[in-house]
Structures are given as structure tokens and as C-alpha cells.
Amino acid sequence: MPIAGRYICGMFRPRVTLRDVARRARVHTSTASRVLNPATRELITEPIARRVTTAAEQLGYQPNPNAYSLKTNRTRTVGVIIPDIANPVFPPILRGIEDAFAESGYTAVLANTDNDGDREGTIFQEMLARRVDGLILATARRRDPLVDRCLLEKIPVVLINRTVDRGDVSFVVNDDTFGIGLAVAHLAAMGHVRIAHLSGPLTLSTGFSRHRGFVRAMKKGGLRAEPKRIGVCGGFTESEGRRAFLELRERDRTFTAVVAANDMIALGCYDAAREIGLRIPGDFSVTGFNDMPFLDKLQPSLTTVRIPHYQMGAQAARTLLARLNGGLAAVEHVTLLPELVARDSTAAPSRRTRRGR
Amino acid sequence: MPIAGRYICGMFRPRVTLRDVARRARVHTSTASRVLNPATRELITEPIARRVTTAAEQLGYQPNPNAYSLKTNRTRTVGVIIPDIANPVFPPILRGIEDAFAESGYTAVLANTDNDGDREGTIFQEMLARRVDGLILATARRRDPLVDRCLLEKIPVVLINRTVDRGDVSFVVNDDTFGIGLAVAHLAAMGHVRIAHLSGPLTLSTGFSRHRGFVRAMKKGGLRAEPKRIGVCGGFTESEGRRAFLELRERDRTFTAVVAANDMIALGCYDAAREIGLRIPGDFSVTGFNDMPFLDKLQPSLTTVRIPHYQMGAQAARTLLARLNGGLAAVEHVTLLPELVARDSTAAPSRRTRRGR
DNA sequence: GTGAAAGCGCTAACAT
DNA sequence: ATGTTAGCGCTTTCAC
């Protein structure tokens, strides 16, 4: 068993504990504890408090979080469960979480699930075993047993990016409906009329509300969201985007623009277009969603909808902190506004395509 | 103070402890502890052991890691310090670490430093305050005070991606010298002779050894690494790549290829080339390093050197685990082999450029 | 082979 | 306003 302590200048120094601080300040440990705890500091008179703080400083005292946790049942640790950190939307979310936690004393512990339900369950259990104080979930499906469990067991949780159908849980999401509206309006303003949509999985709130947003925006713009011009991807992936695009073109060859549910699906359209010899934006325009890195370097650069990922992470962390500190805080629903980033994958429909082919 | 326990079926159930398990199995807690600890299980007879394990199962016992940590001074937690998770080389490294830790009971806690020395120090302190059992550092400079401290204070540490000049610390890195050799050989085989290098910062082992690798590979190939054809970037960034490329072209206009120290620097060359109206690979070829995502989608797609990032993370985690479990394990140096990914940014030098301009 | 007992470092109810 | 005391849940030495 390792003995608490560290090597300093080659010498082993045992860890300094609260008792050491108390001894040096010639007070009782509980007094020292009260001084060092902001919530109880006011109970102690100024001169004694100062004796304690200077003693703590001189000794380089660092409280033992394990002792604190054992006593209080709070670990100041939050679990963050995401599908895959290699998906470029998540790094900025994570940075936002990390930065928002920075001053609070909380630490985020990350885990990836690869959208695998079993793995989600395992990781959830492990997080509980680790006694996290709360969870930030980016893995929610519209009906999600994990979220149900959190609510049932009163585990503080905030959903991020995706939400669930039941409304009694806090979440921080992007305004997907509005975002898709931006894309549709952008295309409509350029003169597009026959606009197609390649949606994400409708079991995810992102896929669902972008799909709904598309239908609504078309209607609002006086355009028709034809069923034959709507394709559903099994996942937000390039390969699904490619597949769905080719399938779409089997059904309809008159569309002049595609609103993809995310950037990867849009990339799939790029692949398919290259394969069958269509030009972007000459033969059709494409929009993505998320504005992941390097889209500006594509040929053509991809018009997309930018989501404030960093702010999303930061806001989720703040919402969870409020719940963690305030006890039973109200359920919070935060929706962030995205913005359109117009690039070269969208242009006015050409004469040829405008007529239909 | 929250009471340990959870809501199950709407009812609050206090946390089951080792004592509960022992009571149910009608043994002493110490016996139950010995059964549940693989290292001491053999001390207990089979029938009693079984009584304990079934009791634990029936009660759904989950050991309290805080109590364990308080008692043993081991948190089964490892700090991972990286420059920035938004840099696409780090997500796969992290996945490798996470997966390698999965079965071990260890958890990685991530922190980003943005290559800021002060922040590194702060985070280091916080990690120690959290009582991590060890560290994986991806932030090392060739001379690094943090690494020195770890060695001085005997904190188990493994460096990853970058290493330090002193050799008495474990690390897992890519073979940068070899990797650059692949790029040079690839270009030389295409007929390039006047090859330039845009290096990274020479204070980082990656920048330094890629630079050295370039000089060596040129010599080995019977080519001359002219000083005027070597530029140094202040960071592995696109803007530095752009700046260094333009500066390079001030000094020399006869090079037919650029070996960039990483992909971002190569992207900077793309930017500069577009600005001054040079064609890639028509006017000059470019190679990158790392093979980050979406390079195949660039125009032209970027020839680069692929590093096994995932394996790098997994290996670093394994090396650290060996040290953590085995006590004082030997210092390990692991070097992984990269491979060339030939794409469209490299081609034989054109007649025009071959003559020099 | 198993039980008894101490204690890791801290907080908080209670006592003064 | 400060001290006393008990105990969070576990491991581990010691005793039988």
C-alpha cells in the first residue's frame, strides 16, 4: 500500500493533512476545517482564521478529495457520455464543458459509446459506480431508457445536442428547426424551388427536428416538400449520405438542391455526385449542418449551418452546476441559435436544371 | 449532506455497503473484503467465499471507490494532459487510452492546456490535488519542467507523441525520422531534387526530429538539404505554414517540393500557393504529416504520413498500467512506425520547374 | 481461515 | 466561537 506523500528534493515528505494544519495553528481540526470551507468560514474569528490559513499555506496543504467524498457523498465529478470524440462536433463541446467547470472544482470524466446501446448501459453503470454527482448526455435518442433511469433515480442530468420527447428533463440543444430554415431560405432566395432533404435518423431529436424544420420551412416559403424528395439516412454518416442521395435520384431527377441533415451526409452527396458525374453547384446545390472543421477547404467549399458547440458545452455545464449546487433546481430548456455560413456549394439553379431534366 | 443511496422504483434505497454484504453472508466485513478482492480471495475457503459473492450479487453491491481510495491512497485515476482535443490527432489517441484502460478499472481524466505553460502548471497541480495515480503527457517540450517534476517526485508518467531530451522517462512516440524519410524518398523517387522543408518548432521533439530526419534522408538520398530551403514555423499551424512558405519563396524559387512538418503547415502552403497563384502539384509538390481526417477531400488531396494514433494511445496506457501495477517498472521507450499515404499533392516535377525558375 | 480492531482524512452534529 | 466526538466504507495488521 502506497503511503501518502511525495518526494521533494529527493526526500520523501508525508502528505500534509488537516490535522497537521490544525496542530501548527494550534486549533482543533474541526476549526481548521471550518476555516478552509468557504461556507463555514464566517463561524470563526478573524485572527484564528488567519492563523489557520497561513499554516495551511506554509505547509502547502491540499485537502484530500477522497476523504471529502467519503464523508459527504459528493465527488465533484461529472460524467460526460458522448457517441465519439473523433466526431469533430464534440471536441468544442468538451472544451466548453471543461472551461465552464474550471472554477467550480468539478471535473468532467469522458466516455465514448459509439452509439452502442449496450455500451451506453455499461458506461452508465461505471459512472454510477464511480459516484459521479451528475451526468451530461450527448447520446440521447428520442425515447431513451438511460434518461428514463436518471429521472427515476433522481440522478442530476443535462442532455446536450440531442434531446428526448419527454419534456421533464433539462437540455441544451441547437435550434435545429430554425437552422434548417436558414438553409431552405438561403436556397429559396437563390431561386431554388424543388429542394430535397436527406434527413438523419428520425429516432434522434436532431434528425427528427431537422426533418420537421425542413417541411415547415418549405411550407412557409410557399414551396412543396415532396415526399419523393425526402430521403432518410440510417446514420449521420458519409456512406449513408451517399446511399440516400443515389436512392433519391432514382426517385426524382428534378431537384436542384439538397439540404443535408449534417455535414457528413453532405459529404456523401459530394461522393455520389463525383461518381455519377454531377457538378456542385452546377447541377445541384448542397447544404450541410454543423460547420465542422475544414469544410472551407473542400472543393467546392460547403455551405452549412454553424452551431455554437462551445457555448452549448459551457451552457450544459452551467445548467448542471446550478442543479448540483442548488439542490432541486427547475428543469431548464436552453436552445441556441445557429447561423448560416454561405460558401460555394450553393448557387442559383442553372437554366438547364431550373427547367428540370 | 446527501445521504448515500438511490431511488429505485420511486423508493429511496440506501447504498449497500460491504457491511451489508457481510451481514447477509453472516461473516465479518474483513472476510467479505478478502473475498471481493481478487488478491486475497484465495485466503478464504470456497463455501464462505461463495456465500459472500452471492450475497453481494443479490444486494447489487458496488464498492465505494472513495473509501477504497482513502484507505489505499490509490484512486485508479490517470490524468491525461494534451494541448487541445480539437486538434484532430488527439481524439484517436484518447480513444486508444480509454479502450486500453477499459478492463483495468482505471479512468482517464482529460485536460487541455493550449500549449500554455502556466495552464500546464495549474492543471498539473489540480491533477495532483485530485490524487491521480499517474499521468500521460502529450504536452512535453524537449526540456520540460513538468516532466522534471514528475521524475523528481516519482510520479508515474508516460509521454506520448512528443518526448524530452533526457532519456530516463517512458514514452510512446511515432518514428518521426523514419516518417519524414518516407516523404523524402517518395518525392525523390518521383524525380524531385530541390526539396524544401518547413519544420515545426525545434523546441518540440516532433519538430526537431522531423527536421533532423529531413536532413538525414536528403543526405542518404544523395540530395542536398540547403539551408535556404529550410524554414522554421513557430507552431504547427496553418498560419505559420503560410508565413513560412512565403518566406521560403523569398529565399529560393527553385524548389520543386515541400516537406511540411505536419498537415496544418501543409495547409498553410495550400493557402499561400492559392494567394500567389501557384499550382499544386503543377508548380510544386507538398507532403504533410499525421493524416488527419478529410485530407482526402482537399483539392488536391494531400499526400501525408499516417501515424498510428490509436495504437499510440493504447500503448501509452498499457505502459503506464504496467508501472502502476508492477510498482517500479523499467523505463520503456516505444516507437511506432508510420506509413506514407500517397495522394494528389505530389507528382513528378514538371519540365518547367525541373529546370528551376 | 476467520474475526477483531484500528484508522485512512475529512465533516458535522452536538456539547461547551 | 471553538472543541469533542462519531463515523463515512473500506483495507489490513494482528490475534486467535
Question: Is the CB of residue B30 inside 7 Å of nucleic acid strand D?
Answer: yes
Specify the pLDDT at position B353: 55
Specify the pLDDT at position B357: 43
Coil, strand or helix at A43: helix
Q: Which three cell numbers, joined as nine digits, stand for B95?
A: 480513444
Specify the pLDDT at position A357: 43
Q: Which three cell numbers, joined as nine digits, stand for B14?
A: 440506501
Sign of the alpha-carbon torsion through B286, B290, B295, B298: negative
Question: Is the CB of residue B70 inside 7 Å of nucleic acid strand D?
Answer: yes
Please determine, for residue B228, whether its predicted confidence score (pLDDT) is greater than 70.
yes
Please determine, for residue B201, whether its predicted confidence score (pLDDT) is greater than 60.
yes
Please determine, for residue B356, whether its predicted confidence score (pLDDT) is greater than 50.
no
Confidence of residue B240 (pLDDT cuts 50, 70, 90): very high
CA B56 to chain centre: 39
Is A292 within 8 Å of A263 (Cβ atoms)? yes
Please determine, for residue A353, whether its predicted confidence score (pLDDT) is greater than 60.
no
A-facing residues of B in 50-109 (CB < 8 A) are 62-67, 69-70, 72-75, 84-86, 88, 91-92, 94-95, 98, 107-109
The CB density around residue A351, as the number of other CB atoms within 10 Å, is 7
Q: Which CATH number is associated with domain B176-303+342-355?
A: 3.40.50.2300
Percent of chain A having pLDDT more than 70?
97
The average confidence (pLDDT) of chain A is 94
Please determine, for residue A99, whether its predicted confidence score (pLDDT) is greater than 60.
yes
Whole-number Å distance, CA B253 to C1' C7? Answer: 75
Domain A176-303+342-355 in the same topology as domain A75-174+308-336: yes
Specify the pLDDT at position B99: 97
Whole-number Å distance, CA B183 to C1' D3? Answer: 73
Question: Is the CB of residue A203 inside 7 Å of nucleic acid strand D?
Answer: no
Specify the pLDDT at position A13: 76
Asked if B328 is an interface residue toward chain A (Cβ–Cβ < 8 A), one would say: no
A51: left (phi over 0), alpha (psi -120 to 50) or beta: alpha
Mean pLDDT for the stretch of residues A301-310: 98
Task: Convert the pLDDT of each residue in B65-83 to its tens digit.
Answer: 999 999 999 999 999 999 9
B-facing residues of A in 140-179 (CB < 8 A) are 152-155
> For B230-256, b where at least 16 C-beta lie within 10 A, e where not — what string?
bbbbebbbbebbbbbbbebbeebeebb
Is A213 within 8 Å of A177 (Cβ atoms)? yes
Burial of residue B104 (CB within 10 Å: 0-12, 13-18, 19+) is middle
Q: Which CATH number is associated with domain B75-174+308-336?
A: 3.40.50.2300
Residue nearest to nucleotide D5 (CA to C1'): A30
Specify the pLDDT at position B355: 47
Q: Which pTM does this prediction carry? A: 0.95
Question: Is the CB of residue B157 inside 7 Å of nucleic acid strand D?
Answer: no
Residue in the structure block whose three cell numbers are 473509501:
B67
Specify the pLDDT at position A356: 46
Specify the pLDDT at position A8: 76
Domain boundaries, chain B: 5-63, 75-174+308-336, 176-303+342-355
B297/A270 touch (CB, cutoff 8 Å), yes or no: yes
Mean pLDDT for the stretch of residues A133-141: 98
Nearest Cα to Cα of residue B206 among B161, B172, B256, B239: B161
Question: Is the CB of residue B331 inside 7 Å of nucleic acid strand D?
Answer: no
Task: Convert the pLDDT of each residue in A1-51 to its tens digit.
Answer: 667 787 777 777 778 999 999 999 999 999 999 999 988 998 999 999 999
The CB density around residue B182, as the number of other CB atoms within 10 Å, is 23
Whole-number Å distance, CA A68 to C1' D13? Answer: 25
Q: Which CATH number is associated with domain B5-63?
A: 1.10.260.40
